[in-house]
């Protein structure tokens, strides 16, 4: 897909008890955090065995056990929630950190600005991670944002910001580790702009006619998985045969997850309003 290095690199740098929250492109975030493929696939099928009990769907994955707090469909709406999570961490005197992922389309939303202001004001332990894939749906960053670089948004709130190569797993991991270490020592917000790229359209119905084939092929040459594979084989840490075995294993995992989802029970109709109304207030 092209964006794999951002979330995998970031989560490789934090502890299991740290908090994460993200926008609607949440599948990889849940999987990288430890949510089982079976539970993820069942959620896509609307089954009761899904990670959100079949009630969330593609954009609302949730896994409290692994501290993965969504999956949120409304652009930038989860950023204030992330700040609230970071506030809770500081209020309780914990040394956890919140990672808040969002796309470049979120940076012009009012809630985003309010959240950054509060995070800076209260020096909250949070890393804002912008997965800048250059397009908000089909709108280029150059057409939607007056800034030359997105991290300038953070500077406006006196939040330190850095740019990382979002196609490089190791660079993302190492930079997040460095930032998180400083936050644990003395709580403060930080901002990372991970420059990445998505190969496919925003959705199944998106023909991606707003970009050229040449542009797409240029970024494919820098694919994060291919890049990491080349690094590890060159260093003798994994062989091509081992990588092929991992690819086969991944495909088998997907097939098993599909089978699990297909065989899982449908959500009973009487549970339609569960978690929507207070007890005794259902229509």
| Cβ atoms within 10 Å, residue 269 | 7
What is the model's pLDDT at position 178? 98
**Residues 79, 81, 86: CA angle, nearest 5 degrees:** 95
* Among 132-141, 202-211, 261-270, the range of highest mean pLDDT: 261-270
The pTM score is 0.90
Which pLDDT value is given to residue 214?
82
Q: What share of the chain is helix, strand, coil (3-state, %, to 5)?
A: 45, 10, 45
pLDDT of 14 higher than 80: yes
Q: What are 200's two structure tokens?
A: 């496919």
pLDDT band at residue 139 using 50, 70 and 90 as cut-offs: low
What the chain holds in terms of domains, given with CATH numbers, is 4-23+72-235 (3.40.50.970)
pLDDT over threshold 70, residue 210 = no
Q: Is the pLDDT of residue 147 over 70?
A: yes
Residue 147: exposed, middle, or buried by beta-carbon count in 10 A (0-12, 13-18, 19+)? middle
The rounded distance, in Å, linking the Cα atoms of 215 and 46 is 36
Best CA proximity match to 197, nearest among 162, 230, 221, 174: 221
pLDDT digits (tens, 9 = 90+) for 168-200: 999 999 999 999 999 999 999 999 999 987 766
The residues with which 58 forms a beta bridge, in sequence order, are: none
Count of CB atoms within 10 A of residue 281's CB?
Answer: 8
């Amino acid at each position: 897909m092209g964006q794999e290095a951002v979330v995998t690199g970031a989560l490789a740098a934090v502890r299991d008890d740290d908090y994460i929250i993200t926008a609607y492109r949440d599948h990889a975030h849940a999987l990288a955090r430890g949510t089982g493929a079976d539970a993820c696939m069942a959620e896509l099928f609307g089954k009761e065995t899904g990670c959100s009990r079949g009630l969330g769907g593609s954009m609302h994955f949730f896994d409290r056990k692994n501290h993965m707090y969504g999956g949120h469909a409304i652009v930038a709406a989860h950023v204030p929630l992330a700040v609230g999570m970071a506030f809770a961490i500081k209020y309780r005197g914990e040394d956890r950190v919140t990672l808040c992922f969002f796309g470049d389309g979120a940076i012009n939303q009012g809630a985003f600005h309010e959240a950054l202001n509060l995070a800076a004001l209260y020096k909250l332990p949070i890393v804002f991670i912008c997965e800048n894939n250059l397009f908000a749906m089909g709108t280029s960053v150059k057409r939607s944002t007056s800034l030359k670089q997105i991290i300038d948004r953070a500077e406006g709130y006196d939040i330190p910001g850095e740019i990382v190569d979002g196609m490089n797993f190791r660079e993302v991991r190492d930079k997040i580790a460095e930032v998180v270490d400083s936050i644990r020592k003395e709580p403060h917000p930080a901002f990372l702009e991970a420059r990445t790229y998505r190969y496919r359209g925003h959705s199944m119905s998106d023909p991606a006619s707003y970009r050229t084939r040449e542009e797409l092929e240029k970024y494919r040459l820098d694919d994060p998985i291919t890049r990491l594979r080349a690094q590890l084989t060159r260093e003798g840490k994994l062989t091509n045969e081992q990588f092929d075995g991992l690819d086969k294993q991944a495909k088998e995992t997907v097939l098993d997850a599909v089978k699990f989802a297909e065989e899982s029970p449908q959500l009973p109709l009487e549970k339609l309003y569960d978690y929507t109304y207070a007890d005794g207030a259902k229509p």
